[in-house]
Structure formats: structure tokens, C-alpha cells
A and B are shown apart, each in its own frame.
Chain A
Amino acid sequence: MTSKALNKYSPSVHNGYWNIKTCRKYSLIFLLLHLLGAPAMLINMMYNITNHISNTPSESVLYIAGGATALAGALGIIVAFTNFRYLFNKNQVDMSLSAPLSMKQRFLSDYLSGLVSYILPFLASQIPSVILFAVGLIGYDGHEFTLLKTNSLGEEWLSPYICESFGKALPAYGRLFIGGILLMIMLYTLTVLVTVCSGTLFDAVAQTILLNGAIPAFLIILFERVFRERFMLDFSKPYLHILSWTSPAGGLLMLICGIGYENVYDYSAVPILSWAAGVIVFSAAVFALAYCFYKKRRAEDVSKPLVFRGVYAVMITLMLFTAEIIFFGPDMDMIKQFDKYFFGVLAVGFGIYMLFEIISNRGLKKLWRGAVRFVSTLAVFLICINVINTTRCFGAEFNMPEADEVETVYLGYGGVYNEFPNISFTYFGADEAWGAFVIKDRNNIENILNAQNDIIAAMKEALGNNKDKDDLYNGYWENILLDSDVPYAYTYLTACHELKSGIRQTKCFPVMTAEAVRCLMNVETSEEYKVQAAEFIKEDFPPYDELAESRKTQAEFMGKADDPEQRGVYIYVSDPLNNVVYQAMVDKRIKKFVDKGFYEEFRDALAADIVNRTAAEYLTPCTERSYNIYISGLASWEIDGSFTETLKVLAEHGCLDGIEADIDYILDEENYINGSIPKMSITISENTFDNSVSRVLHCQKIGMSNTEYFDKYVLDKGRYVIHYSDELKELFSVMQSKYVTDELCYTISLNGNSFIIPPEYSEIAEKVFLSSEDKDKYAENTSLYYGIGAAVE
């Protein structure tokens, strides 16, 4: 061998080659792990796409595949440790740093060669997947097969089936592939940064755990506990994006959610390219930081604990901040009250912090510095929290734009339809990706902003009356919901304002449903809102074939393939009153098999009713009887007489025949199943409405505030009914689950389900009320209150 042959490449390339050679054992392990993972995941993905279900033929295979891939990904930190291991060893640092390479050449060479060792096995492992795709796309996609299918009644037929799994799986798999590579780069680069900042392998491992935990934990705590819970400032979308850009765990969450395995966070609408750009920018920044530290680092820093203490300090402060928020909450109450819990947690936190200091300092030397750092960190935390609280998050909490500044409002609020599936929004977020109402009508925008301003004014008033109270939202609720026994409904009014400048800001307020309805009734009855609500309803109905196939598969999965009801699509219609007792609901409902035609008719009728209902019908639910409807595999709806089209379709299919409340049946003691079903508990309340919609409308009409109304009519007015008299039965036959009236009237609560007694029956209700007992008398012994004729003590 000549010297020329040996020096064929530049020293940088040679160094990189040598690193790759050193890591070849790890690369082999990565390759094997990825080979266990990638093809199995691809097959699973195609299976899911074909069957529209999340169950896999063999879940254990998927767990092994996912676990192997995740392990191979996580083990990337070993490559970073290996390639930069010389930084932890005095002799190796001599060997590496005396080699004829500049700092820049060495860093790039070590970094890139590590990346190759880490990512090359991943790329190689995709070869079987590529072959699978190629064979599938050429050989199967678009081909028609005939499958023997069986419907829920056991009838068999041959169904044509067009294979399009490969074509459909390709984009999802491509997303996973690109995302996987980027996440690997991010994890590796973060580990390199940590390694460069560490003096020993122990430091590196500890700081890697800290860094990968600190960033997402801090973000989650900051956005969830401080911004959202404390100030109801919703940054869901930007925060989830920041999380996915800045931590491998967040990125992984985005990838998994993005392909539709989980629906907790709707990442599916996130374009992979914009996400990729974010990850690349973050990784590049981390890379640049790592290089700066590498250049700044000196050979003599070997084995020195925590070479760049600043980086460690930032991480440990983030973690401490996170832990403090978790334990103490984002307010100062616990601290102000010198809570025992606070000091207990503080002592444990101090102990853990100091333990880490002792380990990282290799002993007790200069331990006092650790104590000072802990106290400083705690002081910084307390100051920050105090400033945030005092300034109400720097004024952001109550800062509202002017109506003419707003281009669009994304409204995450279902109004009266809040109990309808697919319109029941939570406070998670509001924009097009979350499926919110897109409001562009100027009047609607103004109404929404006015509603929000009304709520803010109420909150400010509550804040003014509770100057010692840090938590405005708790105080706000306490002012309104003074009695937990009173049925109430609340929701979150989440609205994202897209300003004309392009900036988006989301605000989320907890409100009584009634208040929200009052504030937004004009919006909810607008054409813009109703059309979108109808669309949401329709979206809740998957194509019939999909639903039928899914029912069948699930029945097979649960071992109930022989049960036609389990494997088919059925509709169940019942009287809401019967629903208060399980046995009555089961025995007294109408059950019908739903074929494709009926299914589509019902869906379209329901959507049409949503659009066609008048404002009066929408806001003042009909006094006519209502029905509970449930379609297996989907959800349930309660509709009233104003849903004319829907009721017509149901009647045509014989779903309404003979449905009525069987009062004797539901009051029969025999119908209570011990253990699982609550025993009947009946309370009657004077002058209240079960439904906050009607109550607020009523309050508005009689010029009384919510609080005044509660004080006067609601608080502690409930009584337990212990005599199941004929009058009570009469009330049962007339009470309504939804009812609106201007007059005061009684409410009956059955097993927690509230019904309104129309005012014309108030006399009878009064008799029942007066013959009932104070709740307080029986508070300790609820077993007295069931069954017909239960005796009075």
C-alpha cells in the first residue's frame, strides 16, 4: 500500500469514514430494528385505509414494529455520543485534536458522519417498502376483486372491491418517511448540542434527558396551565406547532396524529412542507449553536462537570419552572397562604436539585452555589408568575380587536347544537383545522366580538369584586354557580380572530350555555352559521358502506359476529323520559335495521331541518314531545317537533309507532338493576327552569341578572319527593325535556335528568313540592328516596 492510496481523501472525509466504521455495529442494529418496523407499519397502514378502522389484524405485530422503529430512532443519541466521545476523555481528546483538522472540519466531519450512521440504515430499511409499493401500485391498484360479503341479517352477496390501498397509503407513508428523517435529524442535532456542552458521558446522558423533556414539558405547561387555564388564551395551533418543531416527542405526536391514528390533536391539516421547514429551521439553529459551543469549548474541559453551565442552568430552570407550575399551580394562592403542601414540594424539589448538583459537581465542593442557584431560580419563577398574574398576562387576556380589524372569526362553539356530535366543540382550539365555524359576515363578526366584550366586562366586574382572588375564572364561576346541586350547563366560547393584518389570536372563555346563547343568538340563527352546522351534521355520517363494514369488523373483533344487531346498522328511537331508567330505555324503544336508503334519507333530513328551522324554533325549543335517536356506530341526537323532515322520515320507516313515556314502568322498583344503574332519585325545584337557555331568556325578559335569579329562585329550593303520588305521575306525563316560557315554573330532576313542568301545571307541582322533604333532612341517607310509596321517617 502506498501513501498515495492512503491519502486519497481529505482528512475530513477520512475522519468521517473512520467514524462511520466505528459506528457500524450500531448502524447494523438500527437497520435490523427499522426492518422490523417499516414494512409492518406500511402493511398496517394499508389495512387501516382499506378497512376504515383503527384495529389491526395483529396488534402485537404493530406494537413490535412501532416499538422497534421508535427504539431505532431513540438510539440515535448513542451515535452522537460515540462520534463526540473524545470530548469526555483526556487521551482521546489529545488524539482527536492533534489530528490535522481544523475545528470546523472536525465538527462537520463528526456531525455528518454520525448522521450518515444514523440515517443510512433507515433509508436502507425502506427498500422492502419501496418494493411493496412498486408491486402494489403496478400489480394491484385499480384492479377489481370480488369479495364475498355478508350483511347483518346473514345475507351473502358478492361485492366488487377496487384495490387502491397502495395509492392511498403512499402519501401517508411519504409523510411518515420525510417526517421520520427530519425527527431523526432533530434528535441527533439536539444530542450533539448536549454532548458538546457536557464534560462527561453522565452529564451528556442526564442533559439529553433534561433537554428532550425540558422543552416540551415547559411548552405544555406554559401554554396549557398558564395561558389557557389561567388566562383562557388559546394558542393551541401555534403551540402544538411549536411543540412539533422543537422537540422530537412533539414532532412524533404530529406525525402519528397527522396520519389519523389519533384525533386528540388534529394535525392532519398541517402541510408536511411547512412543518418540515419549521423543523429544519430549528435543527439548523441547534446545529449552529452546537458549533459555536464546540468552537468555544477547550480541550481541557474534558471531565469538567457541565462545561457550559449556562445551557444546564437554562434547562434545569425550565424543568424547575415546569415542576413548580405542576405542583404549585400558576397562581400565588398556595404560596401566599404558606400552604404545607407548598413547602413540602419545595423541600422535595430542593432535595432533588441539590442531589443533581452533588452528582454533577462530583462532590460537596461549592455546594452553596447550588443552593444559591435554586433560590435564584425559585425567585425568578415567583417574580415571573407574579408579573404575569398582576398584569393579567401583560394585558393580553382582555385585549380585544375592533370589529373592522377582523377579517374572519373561527368560532369553536356549538350553541344549542352543542350536544350534537360533531358540533360539540371543546376549548381545544378554533380555526379551520379544528373544524370551527368560519364566520365572515360582518354582522356576525360584530355580534361575536360584542359577546366576548360582554363576557370580559362581566369578568372584570368579578375581578373588581374579588381583588384578593388570583384566579378570575374560579371566582367568576363561584359567583354564578353557587349551588352544585342545581343543574347547569356551561360551555367554552372559543373564537379565533384572524385580523386583516394576517395575525391570528384565539380567546377562550368559559360561559354559561345560556349566556352564550343569549350573546350569540343572532349569529346562531344566521344563514352562515346554520348552513355550516348542517354540514357538520352531515360530516358525522360516514358513507354507509364504510359504517356497515366497520360494524361487521368490530362485531367480529368482539366475538359477536353472529349477533345481527351487533354487526348491522340499527336506529333506536325512544322517549327521553324512558331514558332515565336503563331498563325502560331498552324495553320501550323502537329498534329498526337501517339500510343505505334510510340512512341517507335520515342524514339529509336532519341536515335540512338544521337549515330550515326558524329562529324562533331554534331559540325556543318546541313544547311538543321530543325523541332520543341513536344510530349504532354513530351517536345520539335529541330532536323536537320542529325537526319536521327528520320526523317524517322516521315515521315513514315506522320508528315513531307507539313511543311514549311509560311512567308506571319507570317508577317500578323492579326495573332498577342493582349496582350499575342508579336508584331513582326525584327532586322537585320551585320556580326554576332546567334549561339555562330558557332561564336566561326569561331573566332577560324580567330584567333580572343570572345571579339575582339564582339567589331568589334557585338556591336550596330543591326538595326530595318521597311520595310517588298520582299528582307526581300526572306531572311526569306533562313535563318536557326542553321547554321555554316566560313564566316561572317547576323543574323535576329524575336521576339527574331534568325536566320542565309547563306553568299551567304549577298548581299540581306546588302540591308535590309542598309534600316533599327538605334535602338537608335526608342528605346522609339517600336510600330512602326510591320506590313507590317509600315511607316518610
Chain B
Amino acid sequence: MIELKGVTKRFEDFTALDGVDLTVENGTAFGLLGSNGAGKSTVLRLLSGIYEADGGTVEIDGESVFDNAEVKRKVFFINDETVQFGGMTLAEMKKYYGGFYPNFSPELFDKLNDTIKLPERKKMDKFSKGMKRQAVVMTGLACKTEYLFLDEAFDGLDPTMRNIVKRMLVDAMLDRKLTAVISSHNLKEINEICDSAALMHKGKVLFCRDLDSLKGGVHKIQAAFEKDFCKDDFEGLEILHFEKNGSLTYMIAKGDEETVTEAVKKKEPKIFDMIPLTLEEIFIYEMEEMGYDFKGVE
């Protein structure tokens, strides 16, 4: 299990993380969302033992990560750049990481490469960005660590490769209870892979939720009423967003589907539709509710 408690990280005058608390259960995929500079990469570097926290604790399986070789052996970090591998061939990369990680599986490495078919003897600086990214993800998976941290891991991949890589990741999670923490700007990707996610902004975690419950707990309603209702007329209903467009009323409301439907139907709508929300919309409305101007966040 990953646990960050009250973690603070400063870079000279800039506070990158300010009292961050996060918990990630084993065997789950966790998404870190946020704009540039929100602190996502800093969290991942703290989890990988690259950075040392200025305050609070960063623990994996109850042990501090920084300067702890034993814990690091359980962790593989894929950062958002791949230039550092430019001088290596794929075969060398296999040897390099094979020497560090006790569970490294060359068989798995080869098996994964059978799918994506990258040249083993070619220097990686001759690879495209997407190929390098595939190579690194493949290596990370072959290391068979318990934890995999991916920083903007899907950047530069074409849709086909993006799907292949995602499938590799999901397979690993299913096969060996891999715990993955993925940072991204892209809600769609987080939505497809992650079980839960946290939204970060200016070094703070705005909220952290289980995605299924998040999706099930917020509803978009399109309705037309005979009377002219305002937001306050729907007592007992937690409305995140209320908007009128001619005779149509749009509402985003929190709560279970049954309660929300019942509350709206009490007002005898002529038209009633419950429209599925995208994760992005849920985030926008949740943040509006918390008083953040979403335009300012992303």
C-alpha cells in the first residue's frame, strides 16, 4: 500500500507539494490528474525515491522510500522523457534493468516485444518517441515490480499503440496484482485504466475518489417543467450545477440515481432525461462546487 501523509516538497521558494495526503491500495490503478505544475510528477518522484520530502512521510508497504534500496526494488518509475536511454539498444536495456531488479523476466520482455516488434540491436536514439515510450513501458513491465509509476506515459503513442500499452498494463494488473500510479492530463485515459484518481492543483490534492462511485454519484438531468423552478426549489437535492436554456433545465446533481430521479419527478417534468456524464464533466462540476474556477485549473 502507498501512503503519503502531510507531504510537503519545496524547490527553493516554490512549494510543489503542500500537505498532500494520499493512499493507494495494492492491486489498484490510481490516476493523478492536474494541470502542469500541479505536483503530479513530484508525487511520482517522491514515490520512486528520487526526491526526499521536506515534510510528512512517503511510505510503501509501511517503509520509507527515500534511500531505501529494498523498497525501491519493488518500484519502477517511467518518467515523461526517454532521452536518457538514447545510447542503449533494447538488448542493453534488458541487461541494464535485468541487473537491478531481482524479478526481471527476459521471457516477458521478449513476449511483450513480440507484440510490438521493436528492433533489439538498434540504438534507441534512432527510435521514434513512441517507440522509445513502448520500450520503456515494456521494460518496466518486465521488471515485474509490485509498483509501477508512469508519468505521462501515453504521450507520443499513436492510438493503436496506446491501446496495446494499456492492455499490457491492465494484463499485468490482473495477472500479478500490479499497483500502478499514472499521472496524466488526460481524463479519458485515467477513466479507462484507473480505479480511483486524485485531482491536484497547485501542490494540493483537491479531491481523491473512487471513479466508479464518482461516476455513479453525479447525474446530469435534462428536463422541462410547466412551472419556472429555480435551484432552491429542489430541496434535499445536492445540485452542483443549474442552468436554464429556454424551456429546458439542465442540472448536475449528486446522489444515487433513484433519489435524484424521485426528487426531480416530484416536480412533474414534461420531459425528463438522465444523461451519462463524462469524467471530465464530473470533475468540472465537482470543482465548481468546491469554488474553483475550472478554467483556471486546466
- A binding-site residues for B, Cβ under 8 Å: 1-3, 6-7, 9, 11, 14-15, 17-18, 89-95, 97-103, 105, 298-300
Contact = CB atoms under 8 A, between A and B. Distances in A.
A7 B48 contact: no
Nearest to B145: A100
Contacts of B67: 102-103
Contact of B106 (A3, A9, A18): A3
B95 A6 contact: yes
Interface of B: 11, 45, 48-52, 67-70, 72-73, 75-77, 79, 81-85, 94-96, 98-107
Contact of A91 (B79, B95, B102): B79
Contact of B79 (A1, A6, A94, A300): A94
Contacts of B45: 94, 299
A6 B93 CA distance: 12
B51 A91 contact: no
Contacts of A93: 50
A102 B96 CA distance: 17
B69 A11 contact: yes
Given A1-B106, A94-B45, A300-B11, A100 B73 contact: yes
B119 to A, nearest CB: 18
A626 to B, nearest CB: 79
A9 B107 CA distance: 20
A101 B81 CA distance: 21
Contact of B101 (A18, A90, A100, A298): A100
B60 to A, nearest CB: 12
A3 B81 contact: no
Contacts of A6: 94-95, 98-99, 104, 106
Nearest to A7: B102
Contacts of B70: 100
Contact of A94 (B84, B96, B100): B84
A101 B72 contact: yes
Contacts of A1: 98, 106
Contacts of A300: 11, 51
B230 to A, nearest CB: 51
A596 to B, nearest CB: 69
B94 to A, nearest CB: 8
B84 A100 contact: no
Contact of A98 (B48, B81, B107): B48
A542 B51 CA distance: 69
A103 B75 CA distance: 16
A642 B185 CA distance: 104
B72 to A, nearest CB: 4
Contacts of A100: 69-70, 72-73, 75, 100-101
Contact of A105 (B69, B75, B77, B79): B69
A3 B69 contact: no
B67 to A, nearest CB: 5
Contacts of A91: 79, 81-84
A102 B94 CA distance: 22
Contacts of A17: 99
Contacts of B98: 1, 3, 6-7
Contact of B99 (A18, A95, A98): A18
A18 B85 CA distance: 13
B126 to A, nearest CB: 18
Given A97-B50, A98-B48, A14 B100 contact: yes
Contacts of A299: 45, 50-51
Contacts of A103: 67
B72 A98 contact: yes
Given A100-B75, A102-B68, 14 more contacts: A7-B102, A11-B99, A14-B100, A90-B81, A91-B81, A91-B83, A93-B50, A94-B45, A94-B84, A97-B49, A97-B50, A99-B100, A100-B100, A102-B69
Contacts of A14: 99-100
A109 to B, nearest CB: 11
Nearest to B87: A22
Given A6-B95, A14-B99, A101-B72, A94 B50 contact: yes
B104 A7 contact: yes
A89 B51 contact: no
